[in-house]
Structure 1
Amino acid sequence: MNGDAPYLLAVYILSEQHGPPVGTSAVAELLDRSPSTVTEQFKHLDRDGLVHHEPYAGATLTEEGRERAAALHEAYVTVSWFYRSVLDLDSREADAMEVASLLSPDVADRLATMLPYDPTEGS
């Protein structure tokens, strides 16, 4: 997936936490980006059919967007667990989102097997 992946993942996570639609400012804060950058990415995701973007309201995942984001979320959980349990880094969520978007499912699965605990437990 391209550079839109962290934004798709952020919409997924924030939707799970607070419900849709997800506002531009919430994604901007989570990813440490400007609201204008997030708006542009929302437009890309909308054109790709992954979210419905309503200006001033936010973004809501489409079915396809939810499926892709769920797969990204699995890699994100693994990378987040790696950051916390192996690297002892607690506040690296934006970094974990970026890295997760670069991993293939096979790499994420292999990384998960190397961790001291199953990062998918309790998620």
Structure 2
Amino acid sequence: MVPDARYLLAIRTLRPNETTPVSTGSIADELGRSPAAATEMAERLNERGLVEHEPYEGVVLTEEGESRADRLARTYEILCRFCRDVLRIDEYEAEASALVGTVSPDVAERLAEVLLSDEADPSP
């Protein structure tokens, strides 16, 4: 998975609501990274307008970050279903995670349409 994709998904997953900051320590723990690495990525995402980062407070997704995180989450869900149900991979979440930042939302949606069409909801 592309690093910023991992971070955006982690922030989206960890937040209790859309306005409460997620600590960089929590993000680091979730991703198995050091707090310094999580803080560095938070700053990069902040510079790109994807999060608002307040040192010692945490990060909140911006509107653009929220939109991107939602698309990534949808792609991840589709890839999980594909890897689990079609390819029958035991470690389907790890495989989907490895792919999610490299597959466009258009490809994921087309994949869902073509291969998962018998199921309406691609949530794992």
- Report the TM-score when normalising by structure 2: 0.77
User: In structure 2, how many angstroms separate the alpha carbons of the residues matched to 1:32 and 1:50?
Assistant: 21
Aligned to 1:101: 101
Aligned to 1:21: 21
1:33-85 CA-partner distances (Å, limit 9, x unpaired): 22211111100011111111111221101111111111111101112233443
Distance 1:90 1:101, change over 3 A: closer
Structure 2: stretches of 5+ with no match in the other structure: none
1:69-113 CA-partner distances (Å, limit 9, x unpaired): 111111011122334432122663xx5334211111122123324
User: In structure 2, how many angstroms separate the alpha carbons of the residues matched to 1:56 and 1:25?
Assistant: 10
Distance 1:90 1:30, change over 3 A: farther
Aligned to 1:89: 91
1:1-123 correspondence runs (5 A): 3-15=3-15, 18-19=16-17, 20-85=20-85, 86-89=88-91, 92=94, 96-113=96-113, 114-115=115-116, 117-120=119-122
**Larger of the two Rg values belongs to structure:** 2
CA RMSD of aligned residues (A): 2.4
User: In structure 2, how many angstroms separate the alpha carbons of the residues matched to 1:99 and 1:78?
Assistant: 11
Structure 1: stretches of 5+ with no match in the other structure: none
How much identity, in percent, do the aligned residues show? 41
